[in-house]
Structure 1
Amino acid sequence: MKFQSTAGYVATDDLTMAVNAAVTLERPLLVKGEPGTGKTELARQVASALGLPIIEWHVKSTTKAQQGLYEYDAVSRLRDSQLGDARVNDVKNYIRKGKLWQAFEAPGKVVLLIDEIDKADIEFPNDLLQELDRMEFHVYETGETIRATNRPIVIITSNNEKELPDAFLRRCFFHYIRFPDMETMRAIVGVHFPGLKEALLTEALTQFFELREMPGLKKKPSTSEVLDWLKLLLAEDLAPEDLRREGKAVLPKLHGALLKNEQDVHLFERLAFMARGQR
């Protein structure tokens, strides 16, 4: 069971090695990197490549670790008892299974994605230490212990918004997805736009990487944003000469797909104004 690049996803050698090492060690794979570098999509592609189902748990700022195990709906049980509903005699009727429970009881091996773990409270990773390590947890309301029938492949993503606890990191295999270089980016674009003309691709990627290297940029455009931009360029049927700028300080065509805040737009406007003043 080895992961490789797929028809829809370009994985570098070190990324495929990290995935396969985590699978071999039976440890969660913790993947960090800039937003938009394909961390979430990696889990889906791993599932697809290995022919496994995927269970996705998208973490929010309000998410608690307990929700991944199960939730006990005491309010509904109280209401039903007042109405004389016979369901109250079995507490299992009020247990809502979380994503970890679903992964643990799956009839076969699955990929479990815990997406953007750094969005949650700092205690969230610590609260999952034992469950992810032992692949089991206790349900206090029923007295049963839920154990993984087949150990899932766990992929955890983080945008590095906050530091994760050392105890949690020790239990993971770590990989940082570096931003693609020009050659890798060409391969990624080729997957999504196989018929793109070479001249247009070269001009667009040259401008894209110049944009990322601009000093003072608050949010550098990511892989997903350059793909959106190229889609727009194709929709507008723009030629390479339509994209050419008078200087690096001039905003690219359809820049709204690349620049996502007014601070970065104003930066280009100031640079363009200064460039005009020096002529």
Structure 2
Amino acid sequence: MRFDGTDDYVATDDLTMAVNAAITLERPLLVKGEPGTGKTELARQVAAGLGLPMIEWNIKSTTKAQQGLYEYDAVSRLRDSQLGDERVHDVSNYVRKGKLWQAFEAENKVVLLIDEVDKADIEFPNDLLQELDKMEFHVYETGETVKARVRPIVIITSNNEKELPDAFLRRCFFHYIKFPDHETLRSIVEVHHPGIKQSLLTAALTQFYELREQSGLKKKPSTSEVLDWLKLLLAEDLDAEDLKRDGASALPRLHGALLKNEQDVHLFERLAFMARRQGR
């Protein structure tokens, strides 16, 4: 079983090597990188490329590790007991399976995505150490032990918002998705916008990288944002000439797709103001 990328996803050599190393070692693949660099999409494309179903667990700030295993609905059982419902005699009727349980009981190999693990409490990764290592857990209410029939491919993403515990990191194969260079980004654009005019693409990417490299920028635009920007440029039927900026504004056309806060917009407005003053 080997991942070599897909027609819909440009995977660099080091990224495919990381995926295949994690598969070989049977360890979770921990993927970090800037938001919008394709970490979540990687899991979907690994599943598509290997022809496997995917189970997706999206982590929130309130998510607890136990929810990934199972949840016991004691309130519903109490209510049913008061109503005389026969279901109350079987505790398993009140145990809701989590995403890990679903992955563990699958008849065949699946891809399990644990998305944005750094959003949860710092104890969240520690609470999953044994379950991800041994691929089993105990259900106290029923007394059963759930063990993976086939070890899933586990992909865990992080936006690096907080440090993850060393014990958790030790159990993972780690890969950081670097922001794509000019040629790689061109290849990514060609996948999403086939047949785009090369003159427009060259002008747009030149502006995009200039914007990303501007000092003082609070949030650098990501791969997903440049794809959205190009989609707008194509929808407006703009060409390379239309992207040329005059001295009145340092902002690119349709900059709302690239700049996502007022501080960065004001930064470019100040740059334009300073350029006008120097041009007098």
User: Quick check: TM above 0.5?
Assistant: yes
What pairs with 1:139-218 in structure 2 (closer than 5 Å)? 139-218=139-218
Aligned equivalents of 2:8, 2:249: Cα separation in 1: 34
Aligned equivalents of 1:249, 1:209: Cα separation in 2: 17
Cα 1:217–1:249 change in 2 (3 A) is farther
- The answer to whether the 8 Å contact 1:190/1:196 transfers is yes
Instruction: Find the residue that maps to 2:8 and give its secondary structure.
Output: coil
| 1:246 match | 246
Aligned equivalents of 1:19, 1:135: Cα separation in 2: 19
Cα 1:135–1:247 change in 2 (3 A) is farther
Alpha-carbon offset, residue 248 of structure 1 = 11
Instruction: Find the residue that maps to 1:179 and give its secondary structure.
Output: coil
Across the aligned residues of Structure 1 and Structure 2, the Cα RMSD in angstroms comes to 0.9
Aligned equivalents of 2:246, 2:187: Cα separation in 1: 28
Cα 1:196–1:275 change in 2 (3 A) is same
The question of 1:38 aligning with 2:43 is answered no
Alpha-carbon offset, residue 234 of structure 1 = 0.4
- The answer to whether the 8 Å contact 1:210/1:248 transfers is no
Cα 1:82–1:35 change in 2 (3 A) is same
Cα 1:208–1:171 change in 2 (3 A) is same
CA deviation vs aligned residue, 1:190-220 (integer Å, no higher than 9, x gap)? 0001110000000000000000000000000
- The answer to whether the 8 Å contact 1:52/1:110 transfers is yes
Cα 1:16–1:111 change in 2 (3 A) is same
Aligned equivalents of 1:247, 1:196: Cα separation in 2: 28
- The answer to whether the 8 Å contact 1:104/1:147 transfers is yes
- The answer to whether the 8 Å contact 1:28/1:155 transfers is yes
The question of 1:222 aligning with 2:222 is answered yes
What pairs with 1:39-58 in structure 2 (closer than 5 Å)? 39-58=39-58
Alpha-carbon offset, residue 249 of structure 1 = 6.7
- The answer to whether the 8 Å contact 1:31/1:158 transfers is yes
- The answer to whether the 8 Å contact 1:43/1:111 transfers is yes
Aligned equivalents of 1:239, 1:170: Cα separation in 2: 50
CA deviation vs aligned residue, 1:243-263 (integer Å, no higher than 9, x gap)? 011369710000000000000
Amino acid at match of 1:136: E
Aligned equivalents of 1:199, 1:100: Cα separation in 2: 48
Could you list the structure 1 runs, at least 4 aligned residues long, displaced by more than 2 angstroms after superposition: 246-249
Amino acid at match of 2:73: D
Instruction: Find the residue that maps to 2:184 and give its secondary structure.
Output: helix
Aligned equivalents of 2:209, 2:4: Cα separation in 1: 27
Amino acid at match of 1:14: D
* Structure 2: stretches of 5+ with no match in the other structure: none
The question of 1:74 aligning with 2:74 is answered yes
What pairs with 1:83-102 in structure 2 (closer than 5 Å)? 83-102=83-102
- The answer to whether the 8 Å contact 1:3/1:19 transfers is yes
- The answer to whether the 8 Å contact 1:47/1:111 transfers is yes
What pairs with 1:22-33 in structure 2 (closer than 5 Å)? 22-33=22-33
- The answer to whether the 8 Å contact 2:248/2:276 transfers is no
* Structure 1: stretches of 5+ with no match in the other structure: none
Instruction: Find the residue that maps to 2:146 and give its secondary structure.
Output: strand
